[in-house]
Amino acid sequence: MHLSRVFSAELVGIEAGLIEVETDLGVGLHELNIVGLADKSLSEARDRVSSAIKNSGLKPPNRENRRITVNLAPADLKKAGSHYDLAIAVGYLLATEQIKSFDTADKLFIGELALSGALRPVAGALNFALLARRTGIKQIFLPLENANEAALVRGIEIIPAPSLAALLSHLDGVSPIAPKPATEFKPESAGGIDISEIRGQEAAKRALAVAAAGGHNILMSGPPGSGKTMLAEAINSILPPLTLHESIEVSKIWSAANLLSGKYLARRPFRAPHHTASSAAIVGGGQDPRPGEISLAHRGVLFLDEMPEFRRDILESLRQPMESGSVTIARAKRNLVFPAKFILVAAMNPCPCGYLGDEEKECRCSASEIWRYQKKLSGPLLDRIDIQITVPRLKLESILQPASGSAGLCVKIQAARERQRARFKKAGLPFLTNSEMSSKACERMITLDQKALSFLKSVFDQSLLGARGYFRLLKTARTIADLESKEGVSEDELAEAYHLRLREG
């Protein structure tokens, strides 16, 4: 045999595509060429593969007096990364007949080779396993450290190999490697601050409960030390645990970003980027486009502390993802779409000094300073934040009182989420939370009595709501009704939703 073909894969954004690795042996002086739009790390694979094969007890390419060509197809797709090493090594050994021939059509080879022949973990193992299932590939060979995350995908055989030598023994039938059993999904508690640790601020806790139950965005404004950051960090403690489907969604993004460390994501993500972060870091992109913080926060929380301190262009770039639940990174050859269904939790001071409207301390800011500071958050951006509350300074009595427990609150939020999931499933809609509903779905899923309609008319007559605000108000009211186990949405739920939308001061 002078020609072999095995399969590997390439990550394009967070989606994996199948790559054919063809190896041809030709006449001529020794030369190993890797073609097919390979990047620098792939061109260096020649030395890694040669040393790994030699140290595994076989004849390496640099001892062949033949011209070796490795083609990565399709040739018009840019290939990057060291995870092709294993496929190149196996393809070469098949072409030189140093290992027995076998059917390669239903097998996928992923892994970086150390010079010793050991296999090192790579990014995107879960994405590659999902590709294997989607394309009908039955077996995927990958490094031992990547087996846990890949085994989260059912329906394919995961073969974890510690080294090239061990893999070759398996393929020759000398020493078979046992397939990795399916990983049992076990969601974990959020950890960190629990909402039961927070003294007072019952109104803010109620607003957080509504945000957590329906996946609504929330903005908290208040003086320094009122507990805004602590409240934001505690929201994960009342969010329902990840389901298997959600975990695969989020783990797929984290795996592509090489953040999984060999295990699936077991708790909802909480991302808190600093206000000096770049646009590419927040939204995603770069020369080789990667998911940004808004995608890493998918199905979890994106916390922006001191929100007005973020660059204006970065804040404005959040508007489209907040509306659509995804972000599109446009490039010359293709557009990449990253999911970004997150709960935005933002905190800010009411003015530069932080004490505007405070009962205890006088604000030292001029009117122009206050206007300039608050103007950093545009109207269209604020219009996409369903809940906007003021978090006042705590009184001593509230600090001294024991904090209320969170067990009952967690149960209510879990029940509200289940109610939403069941309702959407019955209607055949693809949503998980009320905040994801389209305007058409709102009209279909939310019924209002005459009193509720009269309330909405009075709000519109005062020009206090636009079209987007109207539907967002309906979604928040529907969540409040779900929290209270009510079938319909009444004037009471609409009034509370309207109150939560209008920040005081």
- For the chain, the C-alpha Rg in angstroms (whole number) is 28
pLDDT value for 504: 54
Q: Tell me the one-letter amino acid at 504.
A: E
DSSP three-state, residue 23? strand
Domains, the chain, ordered by start: 3-171 (3.30.230.10), 195-408 (3.40.50.300), 415-499 (1.10.8)
Which residue is it, tokens 């601020």?
Answer: 201
pLDDT of residue 410: 87
pLDDT along the chain (505 residues), means of 10: 90 93 86 88 89 94 83 92 95 94 95 96 95 96 94 94 96 94 87 80 91 96 90 91 92 92 88 94 88 96 96 94 92 85 95 88 92 92 94 75 71 94 94 93 90 88 80 95 92 93 64
Angle separating helix axes 450-461 and 491-501, nearest 10 degrees: 30
Angle between helices 125-135 and 244-256 (to 10 degrees): 120
Report yes or no on whether pTM surpasses 0.85: yes
* Token reading at 277: 């972060």
Rounded-to-integer distance, Cα 206 and Cα 198, Å: 13
pLDDT of the residue at 404: 65
H/E stretch holding 26: strand 15-26
pLDDT value at position 286? 81
Distances 272 to 147, 205, 282, 374 between C-alpha atoms, Å: 29, 20, 10, 21
Cα 275 to its chain centre, rounded Å, is 20
Q: What pairing do the DSSP bridges indicate for beta strands 119-120 and 107-109?
A: unpaired
Full DSSP string of 110-136: --EEPTTSBEE--TTHHHHHHHHHHHT
- Integer Cα distance of 122 and 262 in angstroms: 9
Contact 118, 162 (CB under 8 A): yes
